Structure 1
Amino acid sequence: MSPRSREASLRSKPRHGPSFAELYTPKLFTVLREGYGLGDFRADAIAGLTVAIVALPLSMAIAIASGVGPERGLFTAIVGGFLVSALGGSRFQIGGPAGAFIVIIAAIVERHGYDGLVLATLVAGLILIAAGFFRLGTYIKYIPFPVTVGFTAGIAVIIFASQLKELLGLDLTSEPAAFVPKLEALWAARATVNAQALAIGAVALAIIVGLRRWRPTWPGFLLAVIAAGGLAWALNLDVATISSRSARWPRSLPDPSLPPFSLAKLQAVLPDAVTIALLGAIESLLSAVVADGMSGRRHRSNCELVAQGVANVGATVFGGIPVTGTIARTATNVRAGAKGPVSGILHAGYLLLFMLVAAPLAGYIPLAALGAVLAVVAWNMAERDDFIALLRASGGDRIILLATFLLTVFVDLTTGIGVGVVLGAFIFLHRMAESVEVAGEAPLIAEDQADDYAGRTAYDPAEAAGRDVVVYRISGAFFFGAVAAVSGVLERIGERPRVLVLDFSEVPMVDSTAAKTLLRFAEKLAKAGAMVYLAGATPAVRRELLQVGLKKPLVRYAKSVEQAISHATPGPDQG
């Protein structure tokens, strides 16, 4: 075979899905391959600077709220942000520390120290890389919407509670990470409220809210932090600042290092690593979806997971904390006119420059101002409209939402997501089971739901061309959840007919449990001398039925009900 004919033969072969390169080539290479000019770079430079201005105060505020130094937030945004943009599957994703991780990081640091957090994040990074290569990114979409809204709102409540200490200037040496003990500790310290810190927080909050209303394009977070810092310095106010919490502000990235490792430590932090990986995957892919909706582009979910994993490993090696895609910064990037991942890479470079040049000034930033920044972040995270809409939705969605929200707040995030997903699965199965109908001469399933089937056309007994032939139609997914209802209807057949025709034309799928139940029923009819026809089954449904033993002579298959009736009631010439 000549090279030309071999090439034509390869082109003619059907493809069985995207190739490895199509799944895992970073969007950076795609953008450069499409053609990247000076105008694109100029747009990305402006967008990257805009995002960096937003990310600078946020990164420090999130790190402080997580129980670590503010510099670790910047290390995370610089290293993690660079790797997410350089290797990710989204054109516009901005990586860095996220408010959703505050609760998890604070709890890990409280239990295992910063070394434990580093180990947990390294393991989480490896889990994310493995998840990407096993193509699990597409399965994130199966997490129910009420679960996402519930845990996001729960995290928002915890973040706001965690900032009350800074906003009120409370003298609290040790603040528990758990919600209820935190509130108890804050209440016990209520007599130590610092009016000056409260005033600084109020000023910062007023600036942020005011600029969002009257000058929404201005960097409200950064201007609020600068104004609060300048006010505290000019008036020599007695408020806690970054310099009072951090003994030395770094002037460069630290040397890469790894934490002490032991098997016992790994076992202790493994559940936390799974939580970081799960939340990181959800947050980053949700952020990528938001960017897709704003830009009209499409991200590569599994490539994005691999990039998030590498970014988590890289950020913690350089003294950072967990990394994920950040919705607010990613949306800012798109609105600022970014053309591709170069803007995210430049955003990391700008942050590095800010850290090197403005390091001495960062120490003057009041913690109350950063508390105001995170209070606004928590308010924006709460997704209030979606929360209220779900409370007014069906009972199942309401149960999932409240269970996830309350467990996230009062127990922990992992439990909240786990219980929410399981509840969502059970409620979905219940709804699927209820949607299955069995109709014969009249709707026979679930008498208390008879109104639901009033619009369905019942089979006319005359269609059977004989009283010895009975036709039943099954509609909907025939699976284990619907077995009891379907078998209950079939078992109510009074006198055994000579021929039973089951119309499967409206059954999209059948599982082994349902097929086995049908097999036992067919065997019972066969012993009574009856003949069973299965009509209109799709190839996939028929294959499942054949695998459990539903084949000749026990049952016969027909393309349609009419064909089954014709075969079961031969005319005079055939008789």
Structure 2
Amino acid sequence: MSVTATTRLLSRARSLLPGRADYAQVGRTWRGDLLAGLTVGIVALPLALGFGVSSGLSAEAGLITAIVAGLVAAVFGGSHVQVSGPTGAMVVVLVPIVAAHGAGAVVTVTLMAGVIIVVAGALRIGRAVSFIPWPVIEGFTLGIAVIIFAQQIPALVSPHVAAASEHSSNAIVAAIQSFARLDAGYAFWALGAVAVVAASMLGAPLLHRAIPGSLVGIVVVTILGLVVGAPLARIGALPSTLPAPLLPDLDPALVGALVAPAATVAALAAIESLLSARVASTLADTGDVDPDRELVGQGLASIASSLFGGMPATGAIARTAVNVRSGGRSRLAAIVHAVVLLLVVLVIAAPIGQIPLAALSGVLMVTAVRMVHPGTVRAVMRSTRADALAFVVTAVVTVSFDLIVAVIIGVVLAGVVALRSMSRASTVRRDEILGTPQPGDERIAILRLGGPLFFAAADRVAAEIDGVRDVSVVILRMSRLELVDATGARALGDIVQTLERRGVTVLIKGVQPRHEGLFRTVGVLGSLRHHNHLFIDLPSAIAHARRHVRRESASA
């Protein structure tokens, strides 16, 4: 490896690691960062507990993930304000993994996914998220919200929730199935707890924006439940310290079975984290986002989480938005958020164990509802038919089948529609010869090619050119061609050869410099009868065509 290549590689590696520049603004932003970190820590506590339980693991797993992964991602990630931890989207993916392989497999999946994400960042594919269209993102979000809401229903209808294997892996079907075990008395208490939490979350901001409604609701439900003796299932005992780090089970057979789930988790973590970081950068002037470093940071966060028995982590847009709006402007805020949650574990683990699970379900239900913005849904549905279709299909597939499959289908559908629209922009128009008409001009066809000439439009453009009959000379005007790919250039070369074999002389005018190399490589220019048949200006091409027609008429 050359010295230059080695230097470039080392420079690239350094750009993916923390540096002093990450904290250059802390001297003037630390007050706002501390307040924002405290606020986000309070907001994140019920979400971490709820997502841990809802995933089929435990509240402890969710809390560990928020602490460990939140700290590592804050230090190593590519965004200055991103807050990471367990999220609703990840819960949706983890539930079927727990059902199929058991809760213990999640730690192994987390480690494997973390490694995949780090490799993806090192390979510099972080900018790939920019290829996901907005309607697909919104459809994906709507589908996740529906699933999160539905996942809470079984725990509300009975204290004896059936094992995951007894229910469908589909959240909607499982919610319906759970009503077969309805315990009306328990459901009354559980729905009452949900109502109190929902009222707190909706009403607290009306009093003051800084009041953490979810935490208030949980405290109220917990105290009332203890006072009146409500028969509600509770979180249970939590450890008062973090567990010692331990390498997950790497049995070859288990690892082989978890490759596909790990790839799914990695894809989701990468997509959600990059989208969250991109949205955060639009909320305030918080500095640039390095998408590749963000992937490396999120991958390391999941690896660290797995060592402590946690679950996969991603950037969390709701907590990140709270961070920015609370004044967070540097990584210190997300670090403080993790420290706040750690203090919770060390100081008040016992009271947290008394929180009813129904209260956490209420937090997640309200969170799911808030994920869907009616104005955004209306805007997508009123935009174009293609975008509305991509939105609906992505949402339906997310709810019915799989999140990653939904994104892939949505992107493919949007891509097909975009290609169709681009192909329609490819035009072939016949121009008149300006100026004084001359004998034989009717034997000359001037065809202006416009728009993109690529694989989706190549055959149609070639067919339109081939459809020109009863002429001796065809002048192809190329100056308004935009995108040209190898397929389009090849089709153009083929049609030139076809016309020449038919006895029609082809002249080409106005090849742009950016297209000339491709035209020579693919053979478009080589298909011309003579190298003098390539022109810079139209008058010269017309004059040459007229001379050719005159010679042809004279020889006849």
When the two structures are superposed, what TM-score results if normalisation uses the length of structure 2? Answer: 0.90
Equivalent of residue 500 in structure 2, options 520, 526, 538? 526
Runs (5+) with no aligned partner, structure 2: none
Asked if 1 retains the 8 angstrom alpha-carbon contact of 2:78 and 2:293, the reply is yes
Q: Give the C-alpha shift of residue 462 in structure 1.
A: 5.2
Do structure 1's residue 186 and structure 2's residue 174 form an aligned pair?
no
Q: Residues 137-176 of structure 1 correspond to what in structure 2 (within 5 A)?
A: 137-169=126-158, 171-175=160-164, 176=167
Distance 1:543 1:112, change over 3 A: same
Q: Residues 92-491 of structure 1 correspond to what in structure 2 (within 5 A)?
A: 92-169=81-158, 171-175=160-164, 176=167, 177-194=169-186, 195-243=188-236, 248-296=237-285, 297-441=287-431, 459-460=432-433, 466-491=441-466
Q: Distance in 2 between matches of 1:373 and 1:535?
A: 67
2:490 matched to which residue of 1? 516
Aligned length: 534
RMSD: 2.5
Q: Distance in 2 between matches of 1:346 and 1:431?
A: 49
Moved more, 301-310 or 182-191: 182-191
Say which SS state the counterpart of residue 138 (structure 1) adopts.
helix
Asked if 2 retains the 8 angstrom alpha-carbon contact of 1:169 and 1:368, the reply is no
Q: Give the C-alpha shift of residue 25 in structure 1.
A: 4.4
Distance 1:406 1:463, change over 3 A: farther
Q: Give the C-alpha shift of residue 216 in structure 1.
A: 2.4
- The structure 1 segments of at least 4 consecutive aligned residues displaced by more than 6 Å after TM superposition are none
Asked if 2 retains the 8 angstrom alpha-carbon contact of 1:407 and 1:413, the reply is yes
Equivalent of residue 47 in structure 2, options 35, 54, 58? 58
Q: Distance in 2 between matches of 1:259 and 1:85?
A: 23
Asked if 2 retains the 8 angstrom alpha-carbon contact of 1:508 and 1:538, the reply is no
Moved more, 394-403 or 383-392: 383-392
Q: Distance in 2 between matches of 1:500 and 1:17?
A: 52
Equivalent of residue 565 in structure 1, options 542, 545, 549? 542
Distance 1:361 1:324, change over 3 A: same
Equivalent of residue 37 in structure 2, options 48, 63, 70? 48
Say which SS state the counterpart of residue 202 (structure 1) adopts.
helix
Asked if 1 retains the 8 angstrom alpha-carbon contact of 2:497 and 2:527, the reply is no
| Identity level (%) | 35
Say which SS state the counterpart of residue 509 (structure 1) adopts.
strand
Distance 1:488 1:350, change over 3 A: same
Q: Give the C-alpha shift of residue 461 in structure 1.
A: 6.0
Q: Give the C-alpha shift of residue 423 in structure 1.
A: 1.3
Q: Give the C-alpha shift of residue 191 in structure 1.
A: 4.2
Q: Distance in 1 between matches of 2:65 and 2:491?
A: 56
Asked if 1 retains the 8 angstrom alpha-carbon contact of 2:270 and 2:295, the reply is yes
Q: Distance in 2 between matches of 1:64 and 1:209?
A: 23
Q: Give the C-alpha shift of residue 215 in structure 1.
A: 2.4
Do structure 1's residue 29 and structure 2's residue 20 form an aligned pair?
yes
Q: Distance in 1 between matches of 2:478 and 2:14?
A: 39
When the two structures are superposed, what TM-score results if normalisation uses the length of structure 1? Answer: 0.88
Asked if 2 retains the 8 angstrom alpha-carbon contact of 1:461 and 1:467, the reply is no
Q: Distance in 1 between matches of 2:494 and 2:54?
A: 61
1:453 matched to which residue of 2? none
Counterpart of 1:285 in structure 2: which amino acid?
A: L
Say which SS state the counterpart of residue 477 (structure 1) adopts.
strand
Asked if 2 retains the 8 angstrom alpha-carbon contact of 1:470 and 1:500, the reply is yes
